[in-house]
Amino acid sequence: MKVVVFGAAGRMGCEVVRLVAQAQDMSLVGAVDHAGCSALGKDAGLVAGTDDLGVAISPDLGSALLGADLLVDFSIASAFDGMLRTAMRAKVAVVSGTTRLNETSQTLIDRAATTIPVLWSPNMSVGVQVLAGLVEQAVQQLGEEYDIEVVEAHHNRKVDAPSGTATFLVEAAQRARAGLRPVFGREGQPGARGVDEIGVHALRGGGVIGDHAVHLIGEAERIEIVHRAVDRGLFARGAVRAARFLASRPAGRYSLADVVATSVTS
């Protein structure tokens, strides 16, 4: 599989470059980052801390996609739409872990999926995908007698809140219980907690890679479903696993849930 990495000089992009370089069934044929990136012109393998791969990091995605089979994207939301349109023109499949996409970008994914395979997830951890399924099941079975609170923790350099994964977990709860309304933190005198609330809280500090906990709180008991990331490479491994899944798929929109389901049934 001939792979291009978009956002190749970033933290996650470098992780993907290293994994592709190690894989026997993949080869890196392109590495792309934004025009102002200090790594432009440098070998993607050396930037990622591995061997010289003979692939220089370039700002030109269109040229990088010539002859490619699949694009792995770990970039930023403002670059997503242009990336996806370029991949559509090149007829190259896309696996993306870029977060904070707006409705326009989500609509564009649906449009792209009519011509190429696209798999997008705000969190490429297989464990988080399983966590979301457990949350949906628990909320559905426990009913309105249990209040729901989501707490996420990340490193002190994270610039957005709540995390895309926290939003993903809120959406899982909302699928199970219609009418849930996110409330982001509390202060002052917000009044008694409404039955339709789902509290969302963000912690920031140190070098935390990513912790997510969903609390389901009843009058006499509390259930906590927790996921803690202890190695940032797990997200890159999830993306590479998704790439292998997508390689044999026709045009369409896919999710990490499809990857997990296929693994269970195969």
Q: Residues with catalytic annotation?
A: 154, 158
Name the nearest CA neighbour of 144 among 200, 216, 220.
216
How far is residue 57's CA from residue 42's CA, in Å, rounded to a whole number? Answer: 6
Pairing of strands 147-154, 117-120: unpaired
Tokens representing 163?
A: 């995390």
In three-state secondary structure terms, 22 is helix
Q: Give strand pairing partners of 241.
A: none
Going from the C-alpha of 81 to that of each of 58, 84, 96, 99, the distances in angstroms are: 18, 5, 11, 12
Residue 224, φ and ψ in degrees, nearest 5: -120, 125
